[in-house]
């Protein structure tokens, strides 16, 4: 009986750890107080990430007037994420220079 109880406890702990460490993609808002840095036909945008975030991706939709950027990251934590954030950035290649086009945060769209 003790072995059965021990086995159930080990499985319960393993499932709890597995469920909190699974990776899932989330959209993150672009930094409101950060200005994009323009270098020719690339654009660097800033966002606040959790310490466990990885693999940032940017989806870019360009028009004559706007460049809409949606940044997503792979997040390993779920309910127990710390509120601590780290400033991160991603550089995006544009099809043409930004010029006077407005940068739009796609996570708000």
Q: For residue range 48-101, list pLDDT tens digits in order.
A: 888 878 888 999 999 999 999 999 888 877 666 666 788 888 888 889 888 888
C-beta separation of 48 from 88 below 8 A: yes
CB neighbour burial string for 70-84, b if at least 16 within 10 angstroms, e if fewer: bbbbebbbeeeeeee
Tokens read off for 54:
């990885």
Pairing between β-strand 37-39 and β-strand 42-49 as defined by DSSP bridges = antiparallel
| Residues comprising the chain, all counted | 109
**pLDDT class for 23, splitting at 50, 70, 90?**
low
Sheet holding 37-39, edge to edge: 37-39, 42-49, 86-93
pTM tops 0.75, yes or no:
no
């Amino acid at each position: 009986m003790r072995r059965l109880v021990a086995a159930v406890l080990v499985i319960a702990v393993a499932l709890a750890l597995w469920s909190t460490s699974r990776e899932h993609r989330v959209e993150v808002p672009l930094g409101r107080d950060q200005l994009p840095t323009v270098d020719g036909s690339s654009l660097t945008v800033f966002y606040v990430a959790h310490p466990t975030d990885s693999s940032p991706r940017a989806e870019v939709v360009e028009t004559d007037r706007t460049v809409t950027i949606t940044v997503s990251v792979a997040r390993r934590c779920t309910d127990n994420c710390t509120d601590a954030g780290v400033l991160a950035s991603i550089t995006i290649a544009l099809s043409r220079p930004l010029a006077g086009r407005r940068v739009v945060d796609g996570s708000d769209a």
